[in-house]
Amino acid sequence: MRLPLIKHIVDFIDQHDEDWVEEAIQLLEHMAEAPGIRDEELEVLGEMLSNLYGALEVDKEMKNGVNKKEALNGFMTRVVGSIG
């Protein structure tokens, strides 16, 4: 996951709405099931999906009243904590 990408996607959600991101997720998940897809392609799709899901989580926090910076930092803290 990359914080700059998540932030960029959150900005997109602010300008449009989360439905666009949810539909993009559905498309990428469908593409991941394509016959003949290579491991490298799956890694890229997985990374994009992680960023999209992360942006939705940050957006949800913001809708619950958390400011953008705190929502982004809190999300990344949870991600790093779950890895370690």
**Domain segments of the chain: what residues?**
3-83
Q: Give residue for tokens 């498309």.
A: 27
Interatomic CA distance for residues 2 and 56, integer angstroms: 14
pTM (2 decimals)? 0.90
**What span, in angstroms and rounded, lies between the C-alpha atoms of 23 and 26?**
5
For the stretch 54-65, pLDDT in tens is 999 999 999 999
Q: Which residue has the tokens 């992680």?
A: 50
Interatomic CA distance for residues 12 and 47, integer angstroms: 18
**Which residues lie closer than 8 Å to 71 by C-beta, 6 or more apart?**
58, 59, 61, 62
Question: Would you state the pLDDT for residue 55?
Answer: 97
Mean pLDDT (the chain) is 94
